[in-house]
Each structure stands twice: as C-alpha cells, then as structure tokens.
Structure 1
Amino acid sequence: MKNKYFKKITVACVATFAFIGLHNTTVEAITEYQIVNVDSLAEIGQAYGPIMYEMKEKDKQYDEEKEYIPYKPDLFEKQSQDTEVEAIAITEPQSSETEMAAPESEPPAVTISNEEKDLFARLVEAEAKGESYEGKVAVATVVLNRVDSPEFPNTVTEVIHEVVGDAYAFSPVQNGEINEPASDEAIQAVEEALTRQDTLNDSVYFYNPEIATDTWITTREVVKTVGNHVFAK
C-alpha cells in the first residue's frame, strides 16, 4: 500500500515538473528518461535529482543561445518614421493629366454691358468686314485705346457715336452699316480685345491707305499694318 502511494506521488511529481519544466527541453526530458519505482520521498530526490538538474542546465543553455537585441530608442524611432513615410508615399493619390484642371480663359480687363458689347461687335463687323480675325481684334483694340485716351470720350458707346465736325468718327455709324448683326468672329474679336493683352502700342487710328481721302491721317505714326488697314497713333 505504501509503495503504491509513493509511486502515485512519483508519477504526479514527474508529470508536473515535466509540464512546467521550461522551454523546448521539456519534451526531450520526458522522452529521454524513464520513471523509477521508489518507496519514499528521499528516494524520489535521489532518483530524479540528476534528471531535473540536466533539464535545468539545458534550459539555461537554450536561454544563453537566444539572440539578444539591445533596445535602441533612436533606431526604433527612425524605423517608425521611415515606415510612416513609405506608407504615405504608397497611399498618396497620384494625379493624372486628365484630372488636371483646364486653365481658365483670360478674364476681361474691361467690363461692359451686353448691350454695349453688341454695339461694339457690330461696329467691328462693319469696319473690318472681309478682314482676318487679327484685323478685327486690331479694330476693336483701337476703340478701347480711345476710351483710355484723354483725347476721346470715356465709354465704348460714346467713342462709337462720337461726332467729329459734321460727321460721325466711324463711317458705319454714318451710313447705317452698324445696324447689321455681328458675326461670331467679330463677337469673339471683341472678347479678346477686352482682355487688353495687346494694345498695339496705344494706336488710336486706323485707315485703309487705298481709299483714304484725308491726307492728315497719313501723317500719323504708323504702328502696324494688318491686312488692308494701317494702325497709327
């Protein structure tokens, strides 16, 4: 009876030590050693003392062989920052050329009412009919240069309807051609002239040298010739 009691204690102790016996040497220790029949606690110590000592030594050797990596705060912080930068670089959306906003058209430097703009375009159509788009823009530019000049009225409408002597300054106003509708090209020419990108060196006169009857106009400083018109100041 006593022997059976100690045998049970022996089995329980060995199982317990084997379970808590540390790390990877536990399985090796259990498979490498066998249970010895003993009749007292003293015999248990004598029988299993060497086994447990060897298990402890193997665990100690295992711990010593583990790679030891010292904690370096600076290195850890740098690695964290590098990871964060890399994540941002990966997740940041890439803009394509098709997503880029188209440049806005040049806003007008001079603002006039739609009614005045229609009158303006009809004058350009009448004065520069048959001329190129550039020629139409140049005629519209002369009108705006006159508005800016202290020698002429201060609005587009007043410049167009200005009377010089006994006649209007612009022949289409005199002969009624200004009442004809403007072409799309003349309307666009007025819009471009209103941006004031090119003032033709502040030219305030234009004429056709083939049909001009006023010799005074030919004495003005010529700035540019566009199509059939000479622009001067």
Structure 2
Amino acid sequence: MKKLKALALASVCFTTMMFTQQEAEAKTTVHTVRQGETLWTISKDYGVSLVELKRVNNKRSDLLLVGQTLRVPDTISAAEKDLLARLVHAEAKGEPFAGKVAVATVVLNRVDHPDFPNTIKEVIYERSGGHYAFTPVQNGEINKPADREAYRAVEEALAFRGLGNGSLYFYNPKTAKSQWLRSKQVTIVIGNHVFAK
C-alpha cells in the first residue's frame, strides 16, 4: 500500500512538473538569429530585458551565431505598455529622452522589488496615506494618450531592465516637499528629476 501511495505521489509530482515546464515554454518565443543581430538588438526588438534574455538562454557571453535559436521570454502586455507610456508622458513631459526612460525604469524596478506590488498596474495605482504614488494618477493626467517618444522610452526601459542604478523614486527638487523622499540615496539627476533608491 505504501509503495502504491509513493508511486501515485511521484506520478502527481511528475505531471505537475511537466505542466509547469510546458507553461514556462509556452510563455517564450523562439527566435532564429539573423546576420547582424546582437543580443541587444534582439532584446530591444522584443521589448525584453537583456539580462533576462541572457539568463533564459544560459548565455555568459554576447557571442551569437547566424541560425542559432534563442528563447525569448514574454514581456509585458500591450495594455501595460500603454499604461506605462501614459505615466511616462505625464510625468516626464518636456524632459530629455533619458529622463523618460528613467521614469519607466523606476516603475519596472518597483515591480521587481519586494517592497512594492508585482505588476505595472498595481505599482502605478498604488495608494499610500490616501494619495497615489504618482501625481498623474491623482490629477487624472494618466488618462491622456502618450506620445511616440514615451512608447520608445518604455521599450528602452524594458530592454535595460535589471541594469542601472536601481532607482525606486524620482522627484523634482523644486516642487517636492517630502523630506523622507529627499533623504533617499540619489542615483542620478536627469533634467528636472532627481532619481533615488
């Protein structure tokens, strides 16, 4: 009887493992390397992190061969990209392109950080002390359409995901009143925004 139970348990574990592996494989795309492509261009074309692309393919170097196949993990949905682009547009209007990328990166860093929610939507709409984390959500600017540059900034941030200084916050020192925010370690200053962690 014990052997039968052990066999049944092993069968359930094996089946679960197979479904998990199939589910993981279903969430990836296969890409065949073409002449002139690099890991960077492939990650940018698919809007995935360069770090994640290398990790999924067990790549320790940047060497690619024409005809080689790579597994490309799924990235965020079109709706999440649109929401993030609208936030970037509202938060970084008039800022340099690098500042727009940095704003998108802050959201992605929060998604990846254990102290923040796990999705782009949850991070953007997070509330604390009766206020939203981002001013455009509070004042409704998040509902306005994003421009092309904001979408490009989101794609760039996705490609660089996992790289950089780990910024989790940004603020305009001319308008920010929070001493708590000002006490955070500055990672970079771009345009009118200070980025910090």
Q: TM range, normalised to the smaller chain?
A: 0.5 to 0.7
Residue 200 of structure 1 deviates from its aligned partner by 3.2
Which residue pairs with 1:150 in the alignment? 114
1:111-126 matches, cutoff 5 A: 111-126=75-90
Distance 2:128 2:161 in 1: 29
Q: How many residues are treated as equivalent by the alignment?
A: 134
Which has the higher Rg, Structure 1 or Structure 2? 1
The RMSD of aligned alpha carbons is: 1.6
The Cα offsets for residues 70-96 of structure 1, whole Å up to 9 and x where unpaired, read as: xxxxxxxxxxxxxxxxxxxxxxxxxxx
The Cα offsets for residues 1-52 of structure 1, whole Å up to 9 and x where unpaired, read as: xxxxxxxxxxxxxxxxxxxxxxxxxxxxxxxxxxxxxxxxxxxxxxxxxxxx
Tell me whether 1:106 sits opposite 2:42 in the alignment.
yes
Partner of residue 186 from structure 2, selected from 222, 227, 233: 222
1:208-219 matches, cutoff 5 A: 208-219=172-183
Distance 1:223 1:148 in 2: 17
Contact 2:105-2:161 at 8 Å conserved across structures: no
Residue 215 of structure 1 deviates from its aligned partner by 1.4
Question: Secondary structure, in 3 states, of the residue corresponding to 1:212?
Answer: coil
- Structure with more strand by fraction: 2
TM-score by length of 2: 0.65
- Structure with more helix by fraction: 1
Which residue pairs with 1:203 in the alignment? 167
Residue 101 of structure 1 deviates from its aligned partner by 2.6
Question: Secondary structure, in 3 states, of the residue corresponding to 1:115?
Answer: helix
Tell me whether 1:140 sits opposite 2:104 in the alignment.
yes
Identity %: 59
Contact 1:138-1:200 at 8 Å conserved across structures: no
1:44-83 matches, cutoff 5 A: none
Counterpart residue type for residue 223 of structure 1: T
TM-score by length of 1: 0.55
The Cα offsets for residues 85-134 of structure 1, whole Å up to 9 and x where unpaired, read as: xxxxxxxxxxxxxxx93325232127111011100100000000000110
Residue 198 of structure 1 deviates from its aligned partner by 6.5
Contact 2:170-2:196 at 8 Å conserved across structures: yes
Contact 2:108-2:161 at 8 Å conserved across structures: no
CA shift in 2, pair 1:197/1:154, >3 Å: closer
Contact 1:131-1:228 at 8 Å conserved across structures: yes
Structure with the bigger RCO (C-alpha within 8 Å, sep 6+) is 2
CA shift in 2, pair 1:163/1:197, >3 Å: closer
